[in-house]
């Protein structure tokens, strides 16, 4: 598989937009929908939780809202579909219910072939961080076992580290601050429109992989520099992308 011209142009445009030269030294990985195939379970939990509170949530909405905090999603959906504001108490109740339904779901599978990609990236001496809107317990243990120790506990930004979730830039700004890698040395791998918006608002080069049911346009319109169809495509193109993203 070879890289098409539009990808090369996107990378060159990005490099030219920076005041300094670019050299890839770090990747900020989103988690749900990038490392784990957890989105179908999140989506079903959302649909069931909203249904219990009288809101019939269309199937694409969990994917359109992916990456943002639960409260933000709940407020937005009631505004959109029931034309009303909800109290914080009510939103908290639905949030709790969604989390309870999610814990009843089976454990999410790793998205193949991401362990191979992460291993390849490690061999290239590129740092690996996880930037997620999730705050699931036991998250690190699972990351560590599935990804063969290629992620480290202190190299994570979770929902517990930020006040404002995606699409706010805060999660990625925190990642830049904590890791010390800025937009001349780090890129983002995301799968959701709001995640892409967050990364772009933080000024980072963003590769989107379309692992869910949305149209790829939703990712390009959110500002992704590159949109790929699958994790397989990312792995196949990685050696060339790495070369283009290095000095």
Shortest spacing between CB 196 and Ca ion, in angstroms = 10
32 contributes a contact to Ca ion by CB under 5 A = yes
Shortest spacing between CB 166 and Ca ion, in angstroms = 8
Shortest spacing between CB 113 and Ca ion, in angstroms = 18
Q: What's the Rg (C-alpha) of the chain?
A: 18
Sequence-separated (6 or more) residues with CB below 8 Å from residue 207: 187, 188, 189, 190, 224, 225, 226, 228, 234, 241
Stretch of residues binding Ca ion (CB under 5 A), selected from 22-30, 51-59, 119-127, 144-152? 22-30
Q: Could you please report the per-residue DSSP string of 80-106?
A: HHH-----HHHHHHHHHHHHHHHHTSP
CB closer to Ca ion, 22 vs 206: 206
Q: Which of 223, 165, 195 is nearest to 35 (CA)?
A: 195
Pairing of strands 186-190, 205-209: parallel
Neighbours of 213 (CB within 10 A): 12
Binders of Ca ion in range 178-237 (CB under 5 A): 191-192
Shortest spacing between CB 88 and Ca ion, in angstroms = 25
CB closer to Ca ion, 25 vs 30: 30
Residue 109 is classified by DSSP as P
Q: Which of 33, 169, 171, 212 binds Ca ion (CB under 5 A)?
A: 33
Shortest spacing between CB 89 and Ca ion, in angstroms = 28
Say if CB 210 and CB 191 are below 8 A apart.
yes
Neighbours of 60 (CB within 10 A): 14
Binders of Ca ion in range 99-158 (CB under 5 A): none
CB closer to Ca ion, 33 vs 171: 33
165 contributes a contact to Ca ion by CB under 5 A = no
The residue of the chain with the least Cβ separation from Ca ion equals 33
Q: Which of 11, 22, 28, 30 binds Ca ion (CB under 5 A)?
A: 30
Residues lying near Ca ion in the complex (CB under 5 A) are found at 30, 32-33, 191-192
């Amino acid at each position: 598989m070879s890289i098409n011209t539009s990808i090369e142009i996107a990378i060159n445009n990005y490099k030219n937009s920076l005041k300094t030269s670019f050299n890839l030294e770090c990747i900020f990985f989103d988690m749900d929908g990038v490392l784990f195939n957890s989105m179908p379970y999140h989506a079903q939990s959302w649909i069931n939780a909203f249904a219990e509170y009288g809101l019939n949530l269309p199937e694409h909405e969990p994917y359109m809202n992916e990456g943002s905090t639960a409260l933000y999603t709940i407020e937005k959906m009631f505004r959109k579909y029931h034309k009303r504001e909800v109290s914080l108490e009510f939103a908290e109740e639905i949030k709790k219910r969604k989390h309870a339904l999610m814990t009843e779901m089976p454990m999410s599978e790793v998205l193949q072939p991401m362990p191979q990609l992460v291993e390849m990236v490690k061999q290239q001496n590129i740092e690996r961080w996880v930037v997620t809107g999730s705050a699931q317990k036991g998250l690190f243990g699972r990351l560590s076992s599935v990804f063969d120790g290629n992620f480290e506990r202190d190299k994570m930004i979770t929902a517990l580290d930020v006040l404002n979730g995606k699409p706010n830039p805060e999660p990625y700004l925190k990642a830049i601050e904590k890791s010390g890698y800025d937009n001349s040395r780090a890129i983002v791998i995301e799968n959701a429109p709001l995640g892409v918006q967050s990364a772009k608002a933080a000024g980072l080069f963003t590769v989107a992989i379309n692992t869910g049911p949305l149209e790829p346009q939703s990712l390009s319109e959110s500002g992704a520099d590159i949109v790929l169809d699958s994790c397989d495509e990312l792995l196949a193109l990685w050696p060339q992308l790495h070369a283009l993203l290095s000095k």
